[in-house]
Amino acid sequence: MRQMHRQSLTAYGQPLCETVVACPSPRGSEVLVRIERCGVCHSDLHLQDGYFSLGGDKKLDVSAGRTLPFTLGHEIAGVIESVGADAAIVGRRVAVYPWIGCGICAACLGGEENLCSNHRHLGIAVDGGFATHVLVPHQRYLLDYAPLSASFAGPLMCSGLTAYAALKRHTNRPERGPVLLIGLGGVGMMGLAITRALFTTPPIVADIDAEKRKAALAAGAAQAYDPSDPQARKAVMSATGGGLLAICDFVGSDKSLHRYRPAGPRRQGRGDRTPRRQFCRPATGRLAKRKRHSTIYAPAGLLGARC
């Protein structure tokens, strides 16, 4: 009998432990993927804790509806190892789209499974990618990722989608100057890579961490600014000839959201409603309410305690 090794959540607030179970056999449309890489999202750390911090002493409990031991991990890339009778071709190298819905509600039937309220998100509601294998219900959730590396393809399923969903809203205005990216964590750096592909003008970036600004410049950013510098706003205005028309905020705090907006009255709502006399148009919105780690989990080197 084949075995599946997992790094399992066995108790909230505790380190993951290695558990070993029988490897599932796919049936019907199911596909068994042998995992090569799985990114570690910051939300994995919150799920491991069992709560999201809401600031101060406020916490959002997220421990319900999950039977332990449970396998976290939703940024998955691997190889199709075996399939059910109605499934895909064995041997394909694929990234796994994890935001899987119930398949029968209005959101799912409308092609918006990520909005399903009775979802089956991998690593969130059902066992995910911190393991040697993951069972996927249908081949439509698998994307060939060549010529990308597995380490890059996996995080595209979360941080990549987060960044792209925001940046694609600005693709109708590339000739109006660079986009400003605020926050250079995992999502922000992914946004930088995607911006380089979407737009002809390299982006401007902002982060309070000097090392992150240095890394962004090395990755192709045009300029990098420290938001805590009182002269940063004037420097950005000078560099852009009077202001920015597109900002993506990958931090999501009130302070970051208003850092590059002018003081004084403004209309609430979508960015295209802001008076042009102001320094910049508002950001599309809070894109990522958490910072992210760029850690990659490789099943070949299982870490943690043995349970």
Mean pLDDT value across residues 179-190 = 92
Mean pLDDT value across residues 118-146 = 95
DSSP string, 60-96: EE--TT-PSSEE---EEEEEEEEE-TT---TT-EEEE
Strand partners, 248: 181
pLDDT of 208:
92
pLDDT of 84:
92
pLDDT of 156:
94
Bigger pLDDT: 90 vs 5: 5
Strand partners, 184: none
Q: Is 300's pLDDT higher than 80?
A: no
Give the C-alpha distances (Å, rounded to integers) separating 200 from 179, 188, 197, 203: 11, 18, 8, 9
Q: Is 188's pLDDT higher than 90?
A: yes
Report the amino acid identity of residue 41: C
Q: Domains for the chain: give ranges and CATH numbers.
A: 3-158+292-306 (3.90.180.10), 162-273 (3.40.50.720)
- Contact partners, residue 269, CB within 8 Å, separation at least 6: none
Q: Is 275 helix (H, G, I), strand (E, B) or coil?
A: coil
268: alpha, beta or left? (left if phi > 0; alpha if psi -120 to 50)? beta
pLDDT of 233:
84
Band of residue 283 on the pLDDT scale cut at 50, 70, 90? very low
Q: What is the percent of the chain where pLDDT is above 90?
A: 60
Mean pLDDT value across residues 261-289 = 35
Mean residue pLDDT of the chain comes to 82
Q: Is 267's pLDDT higher than 50?
A: no
pLDDT of 228:
87
Q: Is 278's pLDDT higher than 50?
A: no
Whether this prediction's pTM lies above 0.75 is answered by: yes
Ranking 128-137, 234-243, 280-289, 292-301 by mean pLDDT, the lowest is 280-289
Band of residue 204 on the pLDDT scale cut at 50, 70, 90? very high
Q: Is 44's pLDDT higher than 50?
A: yes
pLDDT of 243:
74
pLDDT of 245:
74
Alpha-carbon distance of 296 to 76, in angstroms, equals 10
Band of residue 259 on the pLDDT scale cut at 50, 70, 90? low
Q: Is 86's pLDDT higher than 70?
A: yes
What's phi and psi for 153, nearest 5 deg?
A: -65, -40
pLDDT of 256:
61
